[in-house]
Structure 1
C-alpha cells in the first residue's frame, strides 16, 4: 500500500464514521461494488470512488 493509498484509506474511515456505517457495511459495499473483501485490496482509483460515494451520503444523526 502506497502512502497515498494509506491516506485515502484513513479518509474512507473518517467518512464511514460520518455516515454511521459499520465494518460490515464497508465489507458489503466493497464486495458488491469492487468484488473485493476489504479496503486494503482497493486501488487508489477505487478508494477515490468509495470516498465520492460516501461523500454523497447524509451524515448519521443520533
Structure 2
C-alpha cells in the first residue's frame, strides 16, 4: 500500500502509483516519473523506495 501523500511535501502520489508500477516494467523509472509529473526528489523517493509489504506477508496467513 503506497502512502496517499508524500511524507515530506504532502503532494498526492498515490494517484500515479498503478501507472508507475506498470510502466517501469518496460521503461526507466526516471523517465516514467518525469512523464507522470513527479519532479520533487522527496516524491521520487517515495515511489522508488516503496516495497509492497502486503504481498510479502500474504504468504504467512
- Specify if TM > 0.5: no
User: Higher relative contact order at CA 8 Å, sep ≥6: structure 1 or structure 2?
Assistant: 1
The structure with more radius of gyration: 2
**TM-score where L is the length of structure 2:** 0.28
Greater helix fraction, Structure 1 or Structure 2: 1
**TM-score where L is the length of structure 1:** 0.28
